[in-house]
Chain A
Amino acid sequence: MLIIEGVSKKFRGGNYGVRDVSLSIGGGVIGLLGPNGAGKTTLMQMIATITRPTEGTIRFQGTDVVRDPDAIRRKLGYLPQDFGVYDNLTAVEFLSYFAALKGVHSRARVGEMLEMVNLHNVAKRPIGGFSGGMKQRLGIAQALINDPDLVIVDEPTAGLDPEERVRFRNVLADVGLGKLVILSTHIVSDVESVATHIAIMSGGSIVACATPEELMRGAAGSVWEMVVPSERFDELRRTARVSSAVRKSDGVHVRIVSAEEPGGGASAAEPTLEDAFLHTMSGKAAA
């Protein structure tokens, strides 16, 4: 469905935002994971035809979208990072505006979308009074208004409270049925329940692309659990790659990602996606 071959984006100063990225994606929800500055947004903007790659090709359903951007634009829904809104418009006006820009003239479709994101009760209220989560849901509604085959959402849960994040993830999981969804984030928990494939980016390149299960299998034998006294925890945090820590009555229960056993009574643990992500990133750092 989407084939990216040798794509790079070089900026005027000579820096690369994305360097020699190749990916082939069929369908489902693809989680694009990576730290801030990894190049996720630039890659998504190139797929969304907002900026052109300086090298490489992007093909969607067989068409080169760099040469013919409209081929993908007709079938695309895009929710950019830090999506803002026009505060003075109501939800229904805002959605109708983007519907018109995308060539959707059905009023019923606007209503359907508002219902889908659970904003139909506030459809006629100015968006300026909406919470961050409501604005993001409106954002996803505009992305889906044209019933796209490809949905790109960039850091959609940034700034949302835990309840809104869960709600947003559920919306994305529903959307993912029968479409290709690319979801970029640096928060692993955002993708672990919905992503069918995960691509990890670092320094403008893809360092891993696999199913979550494969990524977790790759980290097997590199994840350790141990309980340490509180006073030793600070030192451990400085010397080891700690993926999680929970304070309990018997000390701090720590998970460590390390190729070698860290000692101190550590036992091997089954990797989570967070562990697998850290394992991949530590491999990249070591390389």
Chain B
Amino acid sequence: MIGRIGAIVRADFLIRFRRLSTVIVFLLLSAFAYVWVPNPKTGMTLMQINGARVLYNSAAIGMGTSMLATIFIGLFGFYVISNAVRRDIDSRCGYVIASTTVRTGEYVIGKFLGNVVFLTTFVAGYMLASMAMLLVRGEAPLEPLIFIKQYAIVAPSTIVFVSVAAIVFESIPFLSGRFGDVAYFFLYSLSLAFVVNMMMHGGEGAARYFDFSGFGYLMEQTHRNFHTDSMSIGMSPFDATKRVLVIDGFNLGGGAWATRLVSTASSIPLLLLAQLFFHRFDPARLRASGAKGKRGWMRNFNALARPFVRPLAALPVRGAALNDAKMTFAATPFAGFALLGITIASIAKPASVVAGFALAALFIADVASRDRRAGTTGLIYAAPRLRERFVTWKLRSAAIVAFLLLVAPLLQAALAQRGRLLPLVVGIVFIAAAATSLGVISGNPKTFIVLFLTFWYVVVNDNGATKALDFAGFYSTPAWTVTLLYAAIAIAFIGTAELVHKMRLSS
């Protein structure tokens, strides 16, 4: 049994670490360590408490960077690792595995441990890069054990939770597709907010045992040691007039070790769900669950929506971009319901345009990558000029879908608040460009979904306080510089995608 689980873990590790994308993410994470530990002479710091910066010693940098690592692993790690079962389905190696004496439990545990090993390696690499930053900034000597201690206290709970969630989501039919990708994002964000909120308002009881992100624990420690809830981690400005704080890092006293241990272990029983729902590559169950692309629940919704969208999908249109846009509605008729929902919501409550953008983003997420995933790129490239103009074609297609879905807010702006029309148009072009660029570069819709939802979540929570974040003028008519900024970012997105596409064609 151990030998078989070990073989699954080893194979997963080798497969993942030999991918170019893994190496790039690994290098990017290391680069983040450099950015996140800024030189205090610039007026910025990794961590400040009540406006005072903390001295860059092993405890502080270990604490700050480990918390940032948990955010990244929690939000993005899921999307990086949630393809372990899918890989076996697509390659059909799963059929061979199903025909051996490997138990379902062994497979689930093997994949779970594979996820754990992969994420742990990532975090370890990032920790080493952060240690190097301590030496670079040179404010205190490197104390490796103290540094490692910070990571050992907060990172395991996130790594285990994300590893469990990935395999559970892959095993449960209706969570194994795009719906699951979106659901996870909100699940993680809510769990983070819930635990922190509970712990900050004294309701520490059970919540502290489900503190997967470690943020509740961080807030508790800050409150206990510094009698404040005002602190920030990540590159932020500090008050240079305040005395530099020296901190000792995380403390496991007062039963904290038990809460961290339970938070790490409390998600593991969820693996039983994976065991219960796992299809063991049975084609009958795969077909029913739609694990080969036809999501069961989505298929039902689409079947329901098809009659309403049929007239739209049957419109005789000319031009490759319009036809590709039409394909979105024909392939996902549920987009028709989204159009109806956004229109009604916009009329009833204009502020709902923020949610409309999130919905539109989900429907344009796969426009640029669906041909590659369906294996029809060759057919597309055989059509006149599409090979060379693939990126702009997909941009136009995604923009048409987004404009159509958001037609009601656009009309409202055109009729009632003309000053908001241009920011809205630029906002739509911005999401279309981001979806196209990230789809072309990564070859899957997940990258855009997770990055955009993260950005959208920040924008919504910021509630218009930071003008530069209001990319489509949701909360007020933005300054022209903001509109110009997002137009420039959209151009940069497309320029990068064009560059990558051209390089691929030439190679």
Chain A interface secondary structure, helix, strand, loop or mixed? Answer: loop
A233 at the interface (CB under 8 A from B): no
- Complex formed: what's the CA distance from A81 to B3 in Å? 28
* Nearest CB in chain A to that of B90: its residue: A84
Stretch in contact with the other chain, from A25-33, A96-104, A187-195: A96-104
Contact with B92, one of A76, A82, A89 (Cβ below 8 angstroms): A82
- Complex formed: what's the CA distance from A96 to B8 in Å? 11
User: Residues 1-45 of chain B: 1 if any A CB is under 8 Å from the residue's CB, otherwise 0?
Assistant: 001101110110011001100000000000000000000000000
Q: Given A50-B281, A50-B283, A80 and B96 touching (CB < 8 A)? A: yes
Contacts of A105 in B (CB 8 A): 3
- Complex formed: what's the CA distance from A98 to B95 in Å? 12
Contacts of A82 in B (CB 8 A): 92
Contacts of A98 in B (CB 8 A): 96, 100
* Nearest CB in chain B to that of A72: its residue: B99
Contact with B14, one of A12, A52, A88 (Cβ below 8 angstroms): A88
Q: What's the nearest-Cβ distance from chain B to residue A95, in Å?
A: 11
B98 at the interface (CB under 8 A from A): yes
- Find out whether the CB atom of A11 lies under 8 angstroms from the CB atom of B284: yes
- Find out whether the CB atom of B101 lies under 8 angstroms from the CB atom of A89: no
Q: What's the nearest-Cβ distance from chain B to residue A127, in Å?
A: 10
- Find out whether the CB atom of A97 lies under 8 angstroms from the CB atom of B283: no
- Find out whether the CB atom of B15 lies under 8 angstroms from the CB atom of A48: no
- Complex formed: what's the CA distance from A70 to B102 in Å? 9
Q: Given A51-B282, A101-B7, A81 and B92 touching (CB < 8 A)? A: yes
Contacts of A73 in B (CB 8 A): 99-101
Contacts of A12 in B (CB 8 A): 284, 287-288
- Find out whether the CB atom of A45 lies under 8 angstroms from the CB atom of B19: no
Contacts of B10 in A (CB 8 A): 97
A74 at the interface (CB under 8 A from B): yes
- Find out whether the CB atom of A80 lies under 8 angstroms from the CB atom of B92: yes
- Complex formed: what's the CA distance from A103 to B1 in Å? 9
User: Residues 39-76 of chain A: 1 if any B CB is under 8 Å from the residue's CB, otherwise 0?
Assistant: 00010010011111000000000000000001001101
B376 at the interface (CB under 8 A from A): no
A78 at the interface (CB under 8 A from B): yes
Q: What's the nearest-Cβ distance from chain B to residue A155, in Å?
A: 12
B345 at the interface (CB under 8 A from A): no
Q: What's the nearest-Cβ distance from chain A to residue B92, in Å?
A: 5
- Complex formed: what's the CA distance from A42 to B287 in Å? 13
- Find out whether the CB atom of B99 lies under 8 angstroms from the CB atom of A51: no
* Nearest CB in chain B to that of A84: its residue: B91
- Total count of chain B residues near the partner, CB < 8 A: 31
Contact with B99, one of A48, A88, A89 (Cβ below 8 angstroms): A48
- Find out whether the CB atom of A89 lies under 8 angstroms from the CB atom of B90: no
- Find out whether the CB atom of A84 lies under 8 angstroms from the CB atom of B93: yes
Q: Given A11-B287, A51-B283, A86 and B99 touching (CB < 8 A)? A: no
A236 at the interface (CB under 8 A from B): no
User: Residues 86-125 of chain B: 1 if any A CB is under 8 Å from the residue's CB, otherwise 0?
Assistant: 0100111101111111100000000000000000000000
Contacts of B6 in A (CB 8 A): 100
Contacts of A89 in B (CB 8 A): 11, 14-15, 18
Contacts of B92 in A (CB 8 A): 80-84
- Total count of chain A residues near the partner, CB < 8 A: 37
Contacts of B280 in A (CB 8 A): 50
User: Residues 101-120 of chain A: 1 if any B CB is under 8 Å from the residue's CB, otherwise 0?
Assistant: 11101000000000000000
User: Residues 167-206 of chain B: 1 if any A CB is under 8 Å from the residue's CB, otherwise 0?
Assistant: 0000000000000000000000000000000000000000
A142 at the interface (CB under 8 A from B): yes
A19 at the interface (CB under 8 A from B): no
- Find out whether the CB atom of A86 lies under 8 angstroms from the CB atom of B101: no
Contacts of B15 in A (CB 8 A): 86, 88-89
- Find out whether the CB atom of A101 lies under 8 angstroms from the CB atom of B14: no
- Complex formed: what's the CA distance from A79 to B60 in Å? 55
- Find out whether the CB atom of B93 lies under 8 angstroms from the CB atom of A88: no
Contact with B96, one of A11, A51, A52, A142 (Cβ below 8 angstroms): A142
* Nearest CB in chain A to that of B1: its residue: A103
Q: What's the nearest-Cβ distance from chain B to residue A274, in Å?
A: 29
- Complex formed: what's the CA distance from A11 to B102 in Å? 26
Q: What's the nearest-Cβ distance from chain B to residue A279, in Å?
A: 32
User: Residues 276-311 of chain B: 1 if any A CB is under 8 Å from the residue's CB, otherwise 0?
Assistant: 000011111001100000000000000000000000
Contact with A45, one of B8, B97, B100, B283 (Cβ below 8 angstroms): B283
A259 at the interface (CB under 8 A from B): no
- Find out whether the CB atom of B95 lies under 8 angstroms from the CB atom of A101: no
Q: What's the nearest-Cβ distance from chain A to residue B113, in Å?
A: 14
Q: What's the nearest-Cβ distance from chain B to residue A93, in Å?
A: 6
Q: Given A12-B288, A50-B281, A86-B87, A80 and B11 touching (CB < 8 A)? A: no
- Complex formed: what's the CA distance from A58 to B91 in Å? 27
User: Residues 123-145 of chain B: 1 if any A CB is under 8 Å from the residue's CB, otherwise 0?
Assistant: 00000000000000000000000
Q: What's the nearest-Cβ distance from chain A to residue B328, in Å?
A: 27
- Find out whether the CB atom of A97 lies under 8 angstroms from the CB atom of B96: no
Contacts of A84 in B (CB 8 A): 90-93
A85 at the interface (CB under 8 A from B): yes
Q: What's the nearest-Cβ distance from chain B to residue A145, in Å?
A: 10
A9 at the interface (CB under 8 A from B): yes
- Complex formed: what's the CA distance from A260 to B7 in Å? 61
Contacts of B87 in A (CB 8 A): 86
Q: What's the nearest-Cβ distance from chain A to residue B119, in Å?
A: 18
* Nearest CB in chain A to that of B6: its residue: A100
- Complex formed: what's the CA distance from A74 to B90 in Å? 24
Contacts of A79 in B (CB 8 A): 96
- Complex formed: what's the CA distance from A11 to B87 in Å? 25
Contacts of B288 in A (CB 8 A): 12
- Complex formed: what's the CA distance from A143 to B8 in Å? 18
- Complex formed: what's the CA distance from A126 to B18 in Å? 10
Q: What's the nearest-Cβ distance from chain B to residue A128, in Å?
A: 9
- Complex formed: what's the CA distance from A88 to B283 in Å? 26
Question: Can you sample 25 A-B contacts with CB below 8 Å?
Answer: A11-B287, A12-B288, A42-B283, A45-B95, A50-B281, A51-B282, A73-B99, A76-B100, A80-B96, A82-B92, A83-B91, A83-B92, A83-B93, A84-B90, A84-B93, A85-B91, A85-B93, A86-B91, A88-B14, A89-B14, A97-B7, A97-B10, A100-B6, A101-B100, A101-B102
Instruction: Please name the 3 residue pairs, one residue from A and one from B, whose CB atoms are nearest each other, closest first.
Output: A84-B91, A100-B7, A88-B18
**14 extra interface residue pairs, beta carbon distance < 8 Å, beyond A50-B99, A101-B4:** A12-B288, A42-B283, A45-B95, A48-B99, A50-B95, A50-B282, A51-B282, A51-B283, A73-B100, A74-B101, A76-B100, A78-B95, A80-B95, A83-B96
